[in-house]
Amino acid sequence: MKIRELLDLERFINILQFLTRISIKKDSKFDPDLGKGIVFFPLVGLVIGLILGLVYYILRLVPAFYNNSLVTGVLLVLVEVVLTGGLHLDGLADTFDGIFSYRSKDQILEIMKDSRMGTNASISLILLIVLKVCMLASFIDKDMVWPIVLMPVLGRFLGLLLTYRTRPARENGMGNVFIGKCDRTSLIVSIVFVGLLEILALGLTGISIFGLNQMISIILVLLSLFITCILAYLIKHGVYKKIGGLTGDILGCGIEVGEMIFIAYIFILVG
């Protein structure tokens, strides 16, 4: 990746429109080189996170929502689903149906293409949504908006990690435009970007973890980057054993799991 590609606004807009329902250019056509903009994944997450943060503050102005963090959490999850069109949740459901069917590679890929939802898909969706709502409600009770804003960033960071040095499991698939397209420059830029966002978030809020000083608190939160990298490796290792590569559904699943693991980690840190 060339440094000037980091300033490619048109490619960022194309990535944003591909990963969300946000429409900026109505006449935009599919970009076959969309994968070159993989570095923008975390930035797209930041756009989603900032919208969630704005919705959070608007809801807090209404007494009914201010006094009911659970309902606010449900609405925030709903807003995120609307923003993404449920794209990543669909990937989560298809992945759990396929990977945990314990079939052959071809059968797993066929199951993942099936639009019908099985038991594993239903269980994974219910558990993830319930856990996400509960975690968000906990942050809302503490009036902590920064984990809500950073949640989509870390999720898409994991999605980016999954595309580093990987290959597609099938010849034709929507996710192939991204799979294997993350190079070293994109990886390093993304790590620095996400790390700086976390430092900025804690610096602005002055949050202290376990009553420790600010520097140690920042280091503890930055560990989420390391955890996300380990999680990406484990997902790739497990999926490669099953189907020998990645699919778009698995990228979507990774994004949802990445969000969940991040807020679960922060939930543990802040108690």
Name residues whose C-beta falls within 8 Å of residue 261's C-beta, 6 or more positions apart in sequence.
154, 158, 227, 228, 231
Split into its structural domains, the chain has a count of 1
Report the range of poorest mean pLDDT among 1-10, 64-73, 84-93, 155-164: 1-10
CA distance 231 to 233: 5
pLDDT of residue 126: 97
Summarised one tens digit per residue, pLDDT across range 17-61 is 999 999 887 666 667 788 889 999 999 999 999 999 999 999 999
Q: What is the pLDDT of residue 163?
A: 96
* Assigned domain for 197 exists: yes
Q: What does the alpha-carbon distance between residue 163 and residue 64 come to, in Å, rounded to a whole number? A: 43
Amino acid at 38: I
Residue 190 domain flag? yes
Helix (H) or strand (E) holding 223: helix 214-243
Which pTM was predicted?
0.93
Structural domain contains residue 159:
no
Instruction: Give the type of residue at 194.
Output: V
Q: What is the pLDDT of residues 177-223, one digit of tens each?
A: 999 999 999 999 999 999 999 999 887 766 666 566 778 888 888 99
Examine residue 153 and state whether it is found in any structural domain, yes or no.
no
Q: Is residue 152 part of a domain?
A: no
Residue 141 lies in a domain: yes
101 neighbors 111 (Cβ within 8 angstroms): yes
Residue 217's contacts (CB-CB under 8 Å, 6 or more residues apart) are 202, 207, 208, 209, 210
User: Is 71 among the domain residues?
Assistant: yes
Ramachandran class of 102: left when φ > 0, alpha when ψ lies in -120 to 50, beta otherwise: left
Section 221-247 average pLDDT: 95
d(CA 149, CA 78): 15
Euclidean distance between CA atoms 17 and 201, whole angstroms: 26
Q: What is the pLDDT of residues 240-264, one digit of tens each?
A: 999 999 999 999 999 999 999 999 9
d(CA 246, CA 176) in angstroms, rounded, equals 8
pLDDT at 3 over 70: no
Cβ atoms of 125 and 92 within 8 Å: the answer is: yes
What range does the domain containing 216 cover?
8-25+37-147+172-270
For residue 2, pLDDT over 70 is answered with no
Contacts of 147 (CB under 8 A, 6+ apart): 139, 262, 263, 266, 267
pLDDT, position 203: 76
What does the mean pLDDT of the chain come to?
91
